[in-house]
Structure 1
Amino acid sequence: MPINSRELGEKPISKLLIQQALPASVGILVMSLNILVDTIFVGNWIGPIAIAAINVVLPVSFFIAALGMAIGIGGSSIISRALGAGDDSKALKTFGNQITLTLVLAMAFVIPGLIFVDSIIPAFGGKGNIFDPAKIYYIIVLYGVPFLALCMMGNNVIRAEGKPKFAMTAMIIPSIANLILDYILINQLDMGMEGAAWATSVSYLFCFGYILWFFLSKNSELKLNHFHFRLDFPILKEISSLGAVTLARQAVVSVTYLLMNNILFDLGGEESVTVYAIIGRMLMFALFPVLGVTQGFLPIAGYNYGAENFSRVRKSINTAILYSCVLGLFIFTGIMFFAEDIVRVFTQNESIVEQTPSAMRWVFAATPIIALQLIGAAYFQAIGKATPAFLLTLSRQGFIFIPLILLLPMYYGEIGVWISFPVADVLSTMITGYFLNREIVKTLK
């Protein structure tokens, strides 16, 4: 077996986690900065309504991209364990099935998405003055989303091979391309929402080109033949059961955006939707180091579980939680002290600047403890236990957060929406901590 994947079972856990998490964190950081700066450009060069319009489109494009991510993470769990067990044939067959499945499902959602555009946008909160710019952005971005789905799938497979630096580069390329194209198309050519949308779609194509090059080059261990692309039901079932965890999480994120945009529009109009859009961008950006540790943890836990080296699995859990909690504390501190300064980077609209900081502080209030919830759910996914991974992943946003945002605003108005975030974080962390501890005692002794 090539040395890169074998190192997952040999190197010291602390060193290995940093080696895996750092490129993942940098990749997520650059991707998050891309979304953040893209929003800043749109807010300052087009206007605050444009920020709300992009926020309306995000859940649709995110869900289709999440198909690729779900297939990527589900299949990568199989690939990591197969490489750990020395079963290269299963790893190759899994990768081929991932590609076929991603293409079929992405197109199955994109085509209806384009046909029913006038119904989808209002359903996701694109009402009033938001509708027209949201429709422009939506149609163009949807053309590029199948490439994004393939990129999200391929990126996770690269990481499963134990090559995080290539995965990092795959995330950096579209981010840089998008920012350059934003400047040219929006600022220089004055193309408005069309420019923002084309910059996003073309950047996905750049990412796809790089990932395609990686797998065709000698850098990848996974060299496919045509028969690997034939769908294999047992592998599809395993990919689907594990990928359903990620897909369900992203589907719930999309539903959350739908509900939040509509609830906030009813409570405070376009301005409240813009407030949520800014906070949503900060959630994507600020949590990048915690998400990076989670991404780095997955192949380590999966490989060593496949190799039945349970002491290394236990140590990887403890180390990942420790690192993530420390990072979460730094994020929490920064948001608490600099919330207003952060908001002013996005817009100078005084009404939005006045409303957003307090809401942002509520949303990030439980950041120091969310590491346990993220790592706990990721562990069950990494070892191939789909049911607990599915339930724990949905516990925060699906089972707790959505009921809270439907209930609390009835009594507390808009502040009830923002309070829902830390309450959901605390409750879901307690639930995950219980099940993770029980699993460690029962299985990893």
Structure 2
Amino acid sequence: MISLKNDSIGKLLWDFSMPAIVGMLVNALYNIISRIFVGRGVGSIAIAAVTVALPVMTLMMAITMLIGVGATALISIRMGEKKMDEVEKIAGNATALLVILPFLLSLVYFLFADPILMLFGSSPEVLPYAKEYVHVIMLGAIPGAIAFGVNNFIRAEGNPRFAMETQIIGAVINIICNYVYIFIFNWGIAGSAWAAVTGQTISAIWVLSYFLLGRSKIKLKLSNFKIETPIVLKTLTIGFAPFAMQIANTIQQTILNQTLSRHGGDIALSAVGILMSVSMLLLMPIVGVSQGAQPIIGYNYGARNYDRVKEALKKAIIAGTAMATFGYILLLLFAVPVVELFSKGDTALTELTVHALLTFMAVMPVVGFQIIGSSYFQAVGKPIQSTFLSLSRQVLFFIPLLLILPRYLGIEGVWITAPIADVLAILVTGTFLFYEIKKQRKLALATDIQS
């Protein structure tokens, strides 16, 4: 059994991060494969439709992360404090919210689908494909939220392997169903959406079985599903940072799609759809490290083991940076053949996408520091710092640059926005962490004196 208190930090980081990394990679891989199937089975306009759908899906992810990630951080801290009754109340309240909020968001979407998709950058040609895709995706909003949100609780209680299995099961089913629904059943772009919903539904059943069949330390009891305002407010406060980041991503994607449509047309939307899939595959291992480090940092922070907190942060940053550097080398070597998997012989789309990808990801080797640095503050229950750092790249830098640079540089201004925003966000995160580490030293010294 894993001990967050006594096992070595290196071992814990490996035990928690590797399952998260594998799960993240599998999910990113299924996104790539589904986009390849869409591009080859339907056409490049369908990739543009999925790109338009991305802000809607990001909004759904924002709601899921608001509850799931916020509750998970709080669960880790309360488990470190040995408050299991409160842990189960947090889990019950969060599960109830993971049903209610996605339902409400889906209702709003179905009432205003056309104006929403047009706002998110759809052209008249792309709109029918986007509607066909998103309508199905929103039908699976609740099982998708449960599959992601509740799965985090499993990781928090010390079973990262099962959490990884959940992600792998959903992704594998999604990949298989994508092929069957598109190429055998000829369901077109709707087939890709139905594949996602099928994978999410089975993942949700798998996650709930873990709790309902007695395998978990945390028990999901109906009595804890009754909403308690203090618990919800604390969960929302801690989860606000990733929620705000996803909302900022939605705004960013909306402005990005509109800018691309204006300066590059539907081919530029298709290029960004491919770019997002490939960049997700490269960045997901870093996110996996940050997820793996979170319960280690949160538990030891709650237990006031500040030296272990610092060690976990340091090793997570080193691991994240190494993975980012390796991913960037792979990008330089294989950008063209990877993009050609999507473009189906479209030379113009291939050339545009490869140039965009290499420019967009130009400072990738140091991006891991920013991702893990901002997630640290979330893990220790400091939502203000975490929110500010999570939003710094999108709100402070990326969106303003995106509104300014393309006016003077055209489509090239879109591509160079990302590396500039990354560098500025890294500098801000480094400043915050510098002062936080100084504070941690004082807390560790005070703890040693008291003991």
Q: Provide the TM-score with structure 2 as the length reference.
A: 0.96
Structure 1 position 133 matched with structure 2 position 129: yes
Decide which of 359, 363, 369 is 2:366's aligned counterpart.
Answer: 369
> Do the aligned partners of 2:378 and 2:386 also contact (CA within 8 Å) in 1?
yes
Match of 2:395 among 398, 401, 411: 398
Of residues 156, 159, 175 in structure 2, which corresponds to 1:160? 156
Please name the residue that 1:196 is paired with. 192
The 5-angstrom pairing of residues 21-60 of structure 1 reads 21-60=17-56
* C-alpha displacement of 1:70: 2.1
**What SS does the corresponding residue of 2:125 show, helix, strand or coil?**
helix
Within-5 A mapping of 1:173-192: 173-192=169-188
Equivalents in 2 of 1:45, 1:224: separation in Å?
42
* Runs of 4 or more above 4 Å deviation: none
1:193 CA displacement: 1.5
Q: Identify which of 376, 380, 383 aligns with 1:379.
A: 376
CA RMSD of aligned residues (A): 1.1
The partner residue of 2:71 within 75, 81, 86 is 75
For 2:322, give the aligned amino acid: V
Query: Which residue in the other structure is 1:354 paired with?
Result: 351
* Secondary structure of residue in 1 paired with 2:240: helix
Instruction: Give the match for residue 411 of structure 1.
Output: 408
- Count of residue pairs brought into register by the alignment: 441
2:447 matched residue in structure 1: none
Conservation of the 8 A alpha-carbon contact between 1:23 and 1:164: yes
* 1:440 maps to 2:437: yes
AA partner of residue 106 (structure 1) = P
SS of aligned partner of 2:7: coil
Cα displacement (A) at 1:107: 1.2
CA distance in 2, matches of 1:229, 1:408: 48
The one-letter amino acid of 1:438's match is Y
Letter paired with 2:194: W
What is the distance in 1 between the residues matched to 2:13 and 2:393?
Answer: 25
Deviation, 1:194, is: 2.0
1:272 aligns with 2:264: no
Structure 1: which amino acid aligns with 2:342?
F
Which one of 16, 19, 24 corresponds to residue 12 of structure 2?
16
* Structure 2 residues without counterparts, runs of 5 or longer: 445-451
Aligned equivalents of 2:54, 2:410: Cα separation in 1: 25
User: Within 2, Cα distance between the matches of 1:306 and 1:326?
Assistant: 29
> Post-superposition shift, 1:102?
1.7
Residues in 2 aligned to 1:47 and 1:382: alpha-carbon distance in whole angstroms: 42
The one-letter amino acid of 1:402's match is I
Please give the alpha-carbon distance, in whole angstroms, between the structure 2 residues aligned to 1:357 and 1:68.
32
What do the CA deviations read for 1:230-255 (whole angstroms, capped 9, x no partner)? 11111111101111111111111111
Partner residue of 2:91 out of 92, 95, 110: 95
Percent of pairs identical after alignment?
36
2:222 is the alignment partner of 1:226: yes
Q: 1:267, 1:434 → 2: CA distance?
A: 36
**Cα offsets for 1:65-93 (capped at 9, x unmatched):** 33122211111111101111111011011
CA contact (8 A) 2:103 2:141 kept: no
What does 1:254-403 align with in structure 2 at a 5 Å threshold? 254-347=250-343, 348-403=345-400
Contact 1:69 1:156 in 2 (8 A): no
Alpha carbons 1:66, 1:149 under 8 Å: kept: no
CA distance in 1, matches of 2:19, 2:234: 28
| CA–CA distance in structure 2, aligned partners of residues 194 and 238 of structure 1 | 38
Residue aligned with 2:436, SS: helix
Q: Is the 8 A contact 2:48 2:270 kept in 1?
A: yes
Preserved CA contact (<8 Å) 2:61 2:246: no
Q: Is the 8 A contact 1:147 1:205 kept in 2?
A: yes
Q: CA offset at residue 138 of structure 1?
A: 1.0
Unpaired segments of 5 or more residues in structure 1? none
CA distance in 2: counterparts of 1:342 and 1:99, whole angstroms: 39
1:114 counterpart (100, 110, 114)? 110
Match of 2:238 in 1: 242
CA distance, structure 1, for counterparts of residue 64 and residue 146 of structure 2: 6
Q: Specify the code of the residue in structure 1 equivalent to 2:152.
A: N
The answer on whether the counterparts of 2:212 and 2:220 sit within 8 Å (CA) in structure 1 is no
Separation in 2, partners of 1:197, 1:101 = 24
Alignment deviations for residues 407-437 of structure 1 (CA, whole Å, 9 cap, x no partner): 1101111111110111111100110011111
Does residue 1:169 correspond to 2:137, yes or no? Answer: no
